[in-house]
Amino acid sequence: MNPRLAACHALSGLLQQHGSLASLLPPLLAKVEARERGLVQELVYGTCRWLPRLQTMAALLLDKPFKKDDSDLQAVLLCGLYQLNFTRIAAHAAVSESVALAAALGKPWATGVLNAVLRRAQREPEQLAAQADEHESARYAHPGWLLKRLKKDWPEHWPALCAGNNAQAPMTLRVNVRHANRDEYLARLTNAGIAARACEHAPQGITLAAPCDVQQLPGFAEGHVSVQDEAAQLAADLLEAQPGQRVLDACCAPGGKTCHVLEQHDVSMLAIDLEAERLTRVEENLARLKLSASLKTGDARDVGNWWDGKPLQRIMLDAPCSATGVIRRHPDIKWLRKAADIQALSKLQLELLQALWPTLEVGGILLYATCSIMPAENSHVIEQFLAATPGARELDMPGHWGVKQAHGRQLFPSEHGHDGFYYAKLIKISAA
């Protein structure tokens, strides 16, 4: 399949809310030659990253918008504008290749419209950019509801948050301490010609100067290293698991934190996820790293279906969330997430905490985490839980990472560093 056509099919599916890029893109990539797949991903993810801005530009250029049935043509236009404004692709190629897609989609009548609009965008880039900048959503490339929320929640930080969300995320590794320490693995990367640096906060973390195929990483197949963001790597140390303890990872897929804890300590690990399909990924990670855990499919709130009644010493709850801290990795979140989702998610998060708490022994620790930057899903949830749970106390989390909140600590997406993430650490002081 033509790579630009594949990209536009994925974007059209997204615009019609037929799924996320994680579900829409893989079957299309399978139809594209291997050497062209990088281009498809660049076009799809890049267009999504700047979607609010590109949509504004498209509206400024079109005399009338495309009909709902022509979301494929809208995708062609947005993808063409992305190439003109954010890539080094030659302008004439971006225009001609985009125009040619109209015929490939069986809509040759749109050839003239696409040609006229894209050529105007090519001729008047500064004027178009200035007009787009008059719209705040376009200027910051965030949907209006999210921009409003960020301004309210983070009045001092929101411009930097937007910039972080719009940046391309680095590729970060976690060194498996069962095989080597970080300095030793950095030396292996240097010998392999891969530039990298140590992470600032995660002791086993390494950030690559440029992303690469995992198969190029020394010892990847043997489990010497894994791909995991720096912020997510903080969980294993914060949990303070000890050898022999019974540990629960309540929402475990894809298994990065599960594996990290097991790399550090010989614990009895129970890992749960709602979807059996997602547990397959956990199984694959465990197998590559030669680790073992008991995996169960189910809703962590339905305690009777997975708990054997024996108290747990540690619980890690990486709760389902808006994922607003990882927009730079999943830019389709800007399109798929809605304002109403936040309240529903915070309700679910509180329900999970309340359901899991009785399974924790007195003296045990529960680590609450999200990849959200919304206080409604983070400090506000912990505040509600502590107010309703006399036997729960918050523990301090020493370190120089993140911004201390009324409860817990918040990490913001860092352009060359970690994702947005939140942690709160609770100890059970009584059964009440």
Q: What is the pLDDT of residues 321-370, one digit of tens each?
A: 999 999 999 999 999 999 999 999 999 999 999 999 999 999 999 999 99
Tell the burial category of 69 from Cβ atoms under 10 Å away from its Cβ (0-12, 13-18, 19+): exposed
pLDDT tier at 398, thresholds 50, 70, 90? confident
Q: What are the beta bridge partners of residue 205?
A: 174
Cβ distance 195 to 171 under 8 Å? Answer: no
Helix H segments across 167-294?
182-191, 230-239, 256-264, 276-289
Phi, psi for residue 311 in degrees, rounded to 5: -60, 145
Residue 15, pLDDT above cutoff 90: yes
> Which pLDDT value is given to residue 432?
79
Scanning 19-135, the segments in alpha helix (DSSP H) are 21-29, 37-49, 51-61, 71-86, 91-104, 111-123, 125-133
DSSP 247-264: EEETT-TT-HHHHHHHHH
Tens digit of pLDDT for each residue in 241-285?
999 999 999 999 999 999 999 999 999 999 999 999 999 999 999
In the predicted structure, residue 399 carries a pLDDT above the cut 90: no
Q: What is the mean pLDDT of residues 177-203?
A: 97
259 assigned to active site: no
The set of long-range contacts for 148-156, using a CB threshold of 8 Å and a minimum separation of 24, is 149/339, 149/342, 149/374, 150/373, 153/373, 153/374, 153/375, 153/376, 154/373
- Indicate which residue of 8, 251, 321, 371 is catalytic: 371
pLDDT surpasses 90 at 195: yes
pLDDT for 400 beyond 90:
no
> Do residues 146 and 334 make contact, with C-beta atoms less than 8 angstroms apart?
yes
**Share of residues in the chain with pLDDT > 90 (%):** 98
Tell me, yes or no, if the pTM score tops 0.75: yes
In 3D space, the residue among 354, 363, 350, 382 whose CA is nearest the CA of residue 430 turns out to be 363
pLDDT at 416 exceeding the cut of 90: no
Find out whether 373 and 154 touch, Cβ atoms under 8 Å: yes
Instruction: Summarize pLDDT for 62-114 with one digit per residue, the tens.
Output: 999 999 899 999 999 999 999 999 999 999 999 999 999 999 999 999 999 99
Cite the beta strand spans of 264-359 per DSSP E.
Answer: 268-273, 294-297, 312-318
Distance between CA atoms of 176 and 188, rounded to whole angstroms? 13
